[in-house]
Amino acid sequence: MLRTEQSADAPGLGTSMGLDTDLPKLVEEQQLGPGIHCLIYQSTNNPTVAVHGSLLSGTSFEPPDEAGIAELCTRLLIRGNRKLGAGKIADLLESVGATMSFRNTQDNIVFQARMTSPWIKRVLGILADCLMRPAFNLKDVEREKEGLLTDIRLRDDDTTRRGMRELQGLIYFPKHPYRRDRFGTAESVGGINRTQLKEYFENTVKRAPVIIAFAGQFKKDDVKTWALRTFEQSREKRENTEKKDGSVSSTKGLLREITMPHKTQSDILIGGGAAPRTYPDYEPLNLLNVILGELGFMGRLGQRIRDKEGLAYSASSFINAGLLGGSWTAIAGVNPKNITKALALMKEELGRVREELVEKEELENAKQNQIGSALMELESTEGIARTSHNLTHFGLGLDYFSKRRQLYRKIEREGLQEMAVKYLEPSRLSTVIVGPKAKC
């Protein structure tokens, strides 16, 4: 069990802690070549290997007229390469109990693999072929396009996902890359052909900077050699182009109502621009969000609107922070007849954190929640690989958790109120209501 020592001056924020603060000693960090960043954590206690990596080529890097191409390209990586078809890949992985997946995000195409140590050569060989030599067979392209078009229809018919898409469009200014939905639209996806996919892969994915983290039982030289051989093609340097003030939207909040008469539940979404992951505001704003929408069971929003008043099936909030910006969202799923009351209570709770200091106990609990979550994540090889990758992706450094504990000592209730005034001001927040007979 990972333990932390408590300091007398800051309960729960010890100075000698555990694996989270030891990451710089335990994880070896190397730049193997231009645009190839490697992280290595070796352990002899667990005969498994976890790989977590990314190529800086997600939705943000799509051509504006080819929305959805990064998602489609990502789905095709597991559909077969020049050596093996999708069925054979599945058989080879299943026969040794290994897993492999690819996922498209705002910034990256993320790849993951997990295997036992004796099968590392086989699995990494398949992973390399999928990442660098996908087949893009015409049948697979058409099949995946149909699958993505189906997912777009399902997205647009889901109150929560439709609401999130609409809110994204209100929060981010028109040309901001995070305004795009990773699925694209039916029209844009329908127009993508195999030639465009191959061009996107060759010119954007294959040349993208890569971060790759290994954790578990393996020979260090073997994984470094594999990474160099796999990603030997020259990598483009891609600069972070975020605004210097971190703003992503105008200060004018908007209201949008979307009527879906065939639905039985409505969703209320309130949101606005937030700090990018690397900005100083992120940590106090994140603690404020934990109190509002996560702590206990769905935070203050859940306790007030769902538990006390019984007006919502669920009520919570979250932050989505990337390299190029961030957003904060509160969401409640309600009976359509409760929209007006639930919306008023959501706004009332946001008003409370702007006008009143949070309780001392709430702030300490929020800090412990975040420290504990990090420790739990690092209990597995997958968690170590994922965490070390994410810290590197955002440029936070492997010593981030030590720095964060020190920062937490300085964050007081007044700092959270400052974040509430700055980011949760009504004029900055937009509202989307989706469902049957949506009314304010």
> CATH code at 430?
3.30.830.10
- Same domain for 179 and 301, yes or no, is no
Q: Are residues 270 and 190 in the same domain?
A: no
Which pLDDT score, from 0 to 100, does residue 12 have?
44
What is d(CA 106, CA 112) in angstroms, rounded to the nearest whole number? Answer: 17
Residue 253 confidence (pLDDT): 86
User: Is 10 domain-assigned?
Assistant: no
Q: How would DSSP label each residue in 78-141?
A: GGBBSS-BHHHHHHHHHTTT-EEEEEE-SS-EEEEEEEEGGGHHHHHHHHHHHHH-B---HHHH
Residue 160 within any structural domain of the chain: yes
Residue 178 lies in a domain: yes
pLDDT of residue 243: 46
Q: Same domain for 329 and 399?
A: yes
Cα 354 to Cα 205, 271, 293, distances in angstroms: 43, 15, 15
CA dist., res. 320 & res. 165, Å (int): 13
Predicted confidence at residue 45, as pLDDT, reads 86
CA atoms within 13 A on the CB side of 401: 29
225/275 same-domain check: no
b/e code 93-118 from CB counts within 10 Å (16+ = b) = beeeebebebbbbbbbbbbbbbbbee
Phi-psi sector, 299: left (phi>0), alpha (psi -120 to 50), beta:
left
Give, as one character, the DSSP assignment of residue 244.
Answer: T
- Whether residue 269 sits in one domain with residue 222: no
- Check whether residue 105 and residue 214 sit in a common domain: yes
Residue 97 within a domain: yes
CA distances from 405 to 25, 211, 325, 409 (A): 17, 26, 24, 7
Question: Does 291 share its domain with 426?
Answer: yes
Please check whether residue 48 is in contact with residue 114, taking contact to mean a CB–CB distance below 8 angstroms: yes
Sign for the CA dihedral angle at 339, 340, 342, 346 comes to: positive
What pLDDT is stored for residue 267 in this prediction?
97
Q: Is 286 inside a domain boundary?
A: yes
| 3-state SS class at 284 | helix
Q: Considering only CA atoms, which of 427, 156, 64 is closest in space to residue 273?
A: 427
SS3 352: helix
Domain containing residue 69? 19-230
Reading the chain (440 residues) residue by residue, the pLDDT tens digits are 222 333 333 334 444 457 788 899 999 999 999 999 999 999 988 899 999 999 999 999 999 899 999 999 999 999 988 789 999 999 999 999 999 999 999 999 999 999 999 999 999 999 999 999 999 999 999 999 999 999 999 999 999 999 999 999 999 998 899 999 999 999 999 999 999 999 999 999 999 999 999 999 999 999 999 999 999 876 777 765 544 444 565 557 899 999 999 999 999 999 999 999 999 999 999 999 999 999 988 899 999 999 999 999 999 999 999 999 999 999 999 999 999 999 999 999 999 999 999 999 999 999 999 999 999 999 999 999 999 999 999 999 999 999 999 999 999 999 999 999 999 999 999 999 999 975 54
Q: What pLDDT does residue 9 have?
A: 33
Report the candidate in 13, 19, 22, 20 with the shortest Cα–Cα distance to residue 405. Answer: 13
Tokens 């078009």 belong to: 149
Spatial contact of 438 and 258, defined as CB atoms under 8 Å apart: yes
What is the token pair recorded at 117? 């140590």
* pLDDT at site 249: 57
Print the SS3 string covering 360-423: HHHHHHHHHHHHHHHHHHCCCHHHHHHHHHHHHHCCCCCCHHHHHHHHHHHCCHHHHHHHHHHH
Dihedral pair phi/psi, residue 287, rounded to 5°:
-65, -40
Q: How many domains does the chain have?
A: 2
Q: What is the dihedral of CA 360, 21, 293, 438, to 10 degrees?
A: 150
Written as six digits, the tokens of 23 are 């990451």
Q: Which two tokens stand for residue 37?
A: 């960043």
Claim to verify: residue 336 and residue 429 sit in the same structural domain: yes
What H or E segment, with its residue span, contains residue 189? helix 186-190
Yes or no: say if 311 and 342 are a contact pair by the CB < 8 Å rule: yes
| 217 and 275 share one domain | no
Q: 187 with 319, same domain?
A: no
Flag whether 344 is in a domain. Answer: yes
> Would residue 204 count as lying in a domain?
yes
Both 170 and 268 in one domain: the answer is: no
On whether both 279 and 329 belong to a single domain, the answer is: yes
For residue 366, being part of any structural domain is answered with: yes
